[in-house]
């Protein structure tokens, strides 16, 4: 029997996302955070532009990239700017 308040009953994409995230390891000592490790292969010029923006925002590069990812996931980041970056992402391991 389905529960009308259950997102799995109305949105299979959200249900699949919830299952995928449930399989990620929890970040030790970080509450409800999960650990997702990425290796980005960036053109040097792109990495330098990102580093300059991070320094301007008084953040380290990892914090700055995390902010971009969080804002994109929340729909607050200009996706055109993200698509314009020549990024290559390589999956290192899947758990």
pLDDT tens for 29-81 read 878 888 888 888 888 888 898 899 899 989 888 888 888 888 878 877 665 55
pLDDT score, position 55: 93
State the total domains in the chain.
2
Q: 0.75 exceeded by the pTM? A: no
Please indicate, yes or no, whether residues 42 and 78 belong to a single structural domain of this protein: yes
- Angle (nearest 5°) at CA 31 between 30 and 37: 50
Measure the CA–CA gap between 95 and 93, rounded to whole angstroms.
7
Using only C-alpha atoms, the chain has a radius of gyration, in whole angstroms, of 17
Query: For residues 85 and 46, is the Cβ–Cβ distance under 8 A?
Result: yes
Please indicate, yes or no, whether residues 80 and 43 belong to a single structural domain of this protein: yes
Please indicate, yes or no, whether residues 60 and 92 belong to a single structural domain of this protein: yes
pLDDT score, position 95: 46
Domain range holding 14?
1-31
Please indicate, yes or no, whether residues 44 and 90 belong to a single structural domain of this protein: yes
pLDDT score, position 58: 92
Please indicate, yes or no, whether residues 87 and 46 belong to a single structural domain of this protein: yes
Please indicate, yes or no, whether residues 76 and 55 belong to a single structural domain of this protein: yes
pLDDT score, position 86: 52
């Amino acid at each position: 029997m389905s529960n009308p308040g259950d997102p799995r009953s109305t949105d299979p994409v959200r249900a699949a996302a919830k299952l995928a995230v449930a399989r990620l390891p929890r970040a030790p000592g970080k509450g409800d955070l999960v650990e997702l490790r990425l290796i980005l292969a960036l053109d040097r010029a792109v990495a330098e532009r990102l580093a300059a923006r991070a320094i301007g925002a008084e953040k380290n590069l990892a914090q700055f990239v995390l902010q971009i990812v969080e804002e994109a996931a929340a729909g607050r980041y200009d996706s055109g700017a993200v698509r314009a970056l020549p990024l290559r992402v390589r999956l290192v391991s899947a758990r």
